[in-house]
Amino acid sequence: MPALADTLDLEALKTKLYSAVLSDVLDQLGFPNQAVKPFVRPLDDASILCGFARTGLYMKRYHFPEGHNPYELEMDLIDSLKPGEVAVLACDGPTDRIAPWGELLTTASMARGAAGCLTDGLVRDVRRIRELHFPLFHGGIGPLDTKGRAEMMAADEPVEIAGARVEPGDFVFGDVDGVVIVPQRIAAEAVKLALAKIEAEDTTRDELLAGESLRSVFARHGVL
């Protein structure tokens, strides 16, 4: 868990932040490519994904030697998750072959206090996962198992997921609008700026509701 975890209150941020304002702030800070591609969607539109990345990299496989366990690294990653961490599983999606997530990994992750899962691969067992209210953002739904099709080949190293680079410890935030990856080194600053922008947007909204023009309110607050 990064030292950043000591400065960010994840439960409080889930009630205040949203992905669009974080994306705006990242643009402001010179990081314009931090949102994952829009084919990645929440399993439940009400889900909020908020935590720190633990990464896994998958690749297609077409053969496994006898006695080889293709789940080895996957199990190690899930078993080592800590509270507030997000399993970020890069599958070079969109894909119709790699499906790393299901009910049992969800159950194991929840038991360890994990904050959710982000993958550009497929997921299955969706009815059961929805019943568990586990934040899961995915690249598609399908019944396939990874065995015989894919394998996690590396863990806890930089990956790219749906067009966005993710490093272990990066701050991950997702809601119905999408998922944003905030590099760990700027996360505290980005969150501070985002919360300030939210306050300005709340003021802007109130003034617009009172009948003021967009132009005058933008001139005053610089928020649109």
User: Is 104 assigned to a binding site?
Assistant: yes
What Cα–Cα distance (Å) separates residue 198 from each residue in 12, 22, 188? 14, 10, 16
Give the separation between CA 183 and CA 32, rounded to whole angstroms: 12
User: Is 103 assigned to a binding site?
Assistant: yes
Give the separation between CA 56 and CA 76, rounded to whole angstroms: 10
> Would you say 197 and 191 are in contact if contact means Cβ atoms under 8 Å apart?
no
User: Is 124 assigned to a binding site?
Assistant: yes
DSSP 69-125: -TTHHHHHHHHT--TTEEEEEE--SS-SS---B-HHHHHHHHHTT--EEEESS-B--
| Residue written as token pair 């990653």 | 77
User: Is 102 assigned to a binding site?
Assistant: yes
User: Is 125 assigned to a binding site?
Assistant: yes
Residue 46, Cβ neighbours under 10 Å: how many? 9
Amino acid identity at 162: A
User: Is 105 assigned to a binding site?
Assistant: yes
Report helix, strand or coil for 160: strand
Which residues does the annotation place in the binding site for substrate? 102-105
Which residues does the annotation place in the binding site for Mg(2+)? 124-125
Which residues does the annotation place in the binding site? 102-105, 124-125
